[in-house]
Chain A
Amino acid sequence: MSAQADEIVEQNEPDPLSEVEGLAALAVYTRAYLGRIKGGQLGSIPAMAGLIVISAVFAVVHPGFLSAYNIEALVIQAAPIIIMAMGLIFVLLLGEIDLSAGTTGGLCAAIMAVLLLRHGAPWWLGAIAALVAGVAIGLGMGWLRARIGIPSFVITLATFLAFQGVTLILIGGQGSVILPGGSPLIGLENSFIPLWAGWVLLAVVVAGYAAVKINDAAGRRRAGLPPTPMAVIAVKVATLAVLGALFTYVLGINRNLTSNAFFSSKAQGMPWVVLLLVLLFAAWHFVLSRTAYGRHLYAVGGNEEASRRAGIVVSRVRISVFAICSGMAAVSGIAAASLLQSVQSNAGAGNTLLLAVGAAVIGGTSLFGGRGHMIDAVLGGLVVAVIINGMSDLIQGANSAGFEYVVTGAVLLLAAGFDAVVRRRGRTT
């Protein structure tokens, strides 16, 4: 950029402290937004567009795709992927990778299942043990990365293999451990929030979102800073409310086709895992966007040396992200176990990790560090689940699993290529 560009900028400069209101404020906001997009900061747009396009294609070629039954299947398939991707985003923000997140999740779920079945532990104790094991594994890998200095892909490639072995040893020869029936662990993915509670959850989410946004705007106004225009907030809140209501309504439809006088159980409402997703999203989004710790994650991912000079203890930050990632992998492993109602001896192996990394990257998180948000996990996870779900309907026959792998791999490669191109463009501006 030249001095000439500086002058142009100077001329357009709106007086920062002037009270711009109404349409003028909206124009300023829109211009800033378009500027960010032009600068390569596309945010959630590609993932959102991808989700709509892919869903539309599958809906056309496969009429049952948008049925309430299939939407529920999509949600419960996506949940473990989304949870794992949420954890991976922390590691990716620092430009690191955890290739073992899948098998860590599998191992933690196996620990839980073994405690439950062979030692008769209550479900919550098993879940806590899985979580503690996950965090401990993450601390160990983070320590190896930060203090010993082994590259993260080597550490996690080693643990990827080793944890598969540990899971195999724990589960033993029988191939799988079935979770006790009726346990809340199974209910997570297989039973449903009462309809009224679903609507209450929606109301809480929408009202909470609106309250945060309005409070932020009021705070900026009090501080004499130009607030986000009310119209923008209104549009965002309304979008969330409409999409949420649609989701709650569709999942409220009874999916049980065989109800009659003798068999009257209904399958309606959203799976409990949706509540877990909402809570995890809110908590981690808060950490990333509103705390100094979250700010430091972006800083270290953006420029490690600058962060160090600013007094951030980089090694501590680095260890912490591995702990968070492995802890979330454990939660994801529990959700996957709930989905299958059992833990297999190959739990978390295969393409589990690939799908989660794919989800984060498709959502807009950079593999080079410094860029990523919690919403990326949700949108990317949905895209991945839609592809898996739609493909399995579309491709039948002996080689369907093979094709699924090929397509998922291609999508991840595409997203990573997009990430690399965006990054290069961002650097040259």
Chain B
Amino acid sequence: MSDIPTLRLRGVDKSFGAVHVLSAVDFSAAAGAVTALVGDNGAGKTTLIKCVGGIYQVDAGEFLVDGKPVTVHDPRDAAALGIEIVYQDLALCENLDIVQNMFLGRERRTRLGTLDENTMEKLARQTLASLSVRTVRSVRQGVASLSGGQRQTVAIAKSVLWQSKVVILDEPTAALGVAQTAQVLALVRRLAEQGVAVILVSHNMNDVLEVADSIAVLYLGRLAAQVRRSDVTQTQVVELITAGRSGDLGLSPAESSGATV
């Protein structure tokens, strides 16, 4: 990936009062690749993605989308830039069907101003088909009747429908069984194959090693390292997560120990 990354963060700082949650974080996500964002609890993963999504505002640092500096003040700015976050709790309306959920807040309308159900249904079907989703019986099925994996599928498909450049998945497999996890990970790969820059936030080392092209490790609010998947072993990643360094990789010994609470 020698070309310009779709999303690039430079020197991002964020603190809540006296607590420095992120300091000088550099992070990048390339189009067509899955970038995993890993780290222990409290390392700042959630804060980082909320900054990207415009929910929090950074104290310092630069955002670059396709190499151009941008500002993100609120979630609408992020959406306008093509950044979509699929939250862990999914945020789907159980009383609505798949099509209605996928178009929620962005409904297609006819010339008369009424809902254009047919176009929405057709686009929803095409999107699911483009992701080779076969587990959903009918796009007019209520979300209440879907399994966890199917819901995750719908939430991910929604971001594809809106032709997002960057899709951030927050712990997409946390609540899923083995078979459904495999389905969702396959979906994550297909999403990247469509040219999207996928950022996968996960605790699950197996998921990360299986699906990621690049792994960014946060350690106590600092970016310990961002490495190519093919360059590291599981042991190295685990060391980066737990100690902030692994051999030559990661923070300098002074930084990693100095930051220990």
Contacts and interface: CB of A to CB of B under 8 A. Distances in A.
B115 A292 contact: yes
Given A13-B137, A299-B96, A306-B92, A225 B104 contact: no
Contacts of A219: 118
A225 B115 contact: no
A298 B95 contact: yes
B258 interface: no
B94 A16 contact: no
B204 interface: no
B162 to A, nearest CB: 11
B137 A311 contact: no
B138 A223 contact: no
Interface stretch (B36-44, B64-72, B139-147, B214-222): B139-147
Contacts of B118: 219-220, 222-223, 225
Interface stretch (A1-9, A178-186, A195-203): A1-9
Interface in A257-300: 290-292, 295-296, 298-299
B91 A223 contact: no
Interface residues of B, number: 47
Given A291-B113, A371-B95, A427-B144, A306 B104 contact: yes
Given A223-B119, A223-B122, A299 B137 contact: no
A80 interface: no
A299 B104 contact: yes
Given A291-B113, A299-B93, A311-B76, A3 B149 contact: yes
Interface in B99-148: 100-101, 104-107, 109, 113-115, 118-119, 121-122, 125, 134-140, 142, 144-148
A310 B106 contact: yes
Contacts of A302: 93-96
Interface residues of A, number: 42
Contacts of B226: none
B95 A10 contact: no
Nearest to A4: B179
A425 to B, nearest CB: 10
Nearest to B178: A3
Nearest to A429: B145
A292 B135 contact: no
B180 interface: yes
A291 B177 contact: no
Contacts of A225: 118, 121-122
A311 B105 contact: yes
Contacts of A370: 93-95
A306 B96 CA distance: 12
A190 interface: no
A33 to B, nearest CB: 12
B181 to A, nearest CB: 10
A9 B93 contact: no
A5 B146 CA distance: 10
B23 interface: no
Interface string A165-192: 0000000000000000000000000000
Nearest to A221: B118
A12 interface: yes
B150 A6 contact: yes
A224 B93 CA distance: 27
Given A223-B119, A302-B93, A303-B92, A1 B147 contact: yes
Given A1-B147, A39-B142, A298-B96, A310 B105 contact: yes
Interface in A313-343: none
Contact of A307 (B104, B138, B178): B104
Nearest to B176: A3
Interface centre among B104, B121, B135 (most CB of A within 10 A): B104
Contact of A32 (B75, B114, B134, B138): B138
Contact of A3 (B90, B113, B180): B180
A366 to B, nearest CB: 9
Contacts of A301: 95
B121 A223 contact: yes
B95 to A, nearest CB: 4
A426 interface: yes
A68 B57 CA distance: 69
Contact of A10 (B87, B135, B139): B135
A317 to B, nearest CB: 12
B93 A6 contact: no
A426 B95 CA distance: 10
16 contacts: A5-B147, A9-B135, A39-B142, A223-B118, A224-B122, A225-B121, A291-B113, A292-B107, A298-B93, A299-B93, A299-B100, A302-B93, A303-B94, A305-B91, A306-B93, A312-B104
Given A290-B114, A296-B105, A370-B93, 12 more contacts: A1-B147, A3-B179, A5-B147, A10-B134, A16-B138, A16-B139, A220-B118, A223-B118, A303-B94, A306-B93, A309-B75, A370-B95
Interface of A: 1-3, 5-6, 9-10, 12-13, 16-17, 32, 39, 41, 219-220, 222-225, 290-292, 295-296, 298-299, 301-303, 305-307, 309-312, 370-371, 426-427, 429
Q: What 5 A-B pairs have minimum CB-CB distances, sorted nearest first?
A: A310-B105, A3-B179, A302-B93, A306-B91, A223-B118
Interface of B: 75-76, 79, 87, 89-96, 100-101, 104-107, 109, 113-115, 118-119, 121-122, 125, 134-140, 142, 144-150, 177-180, 183
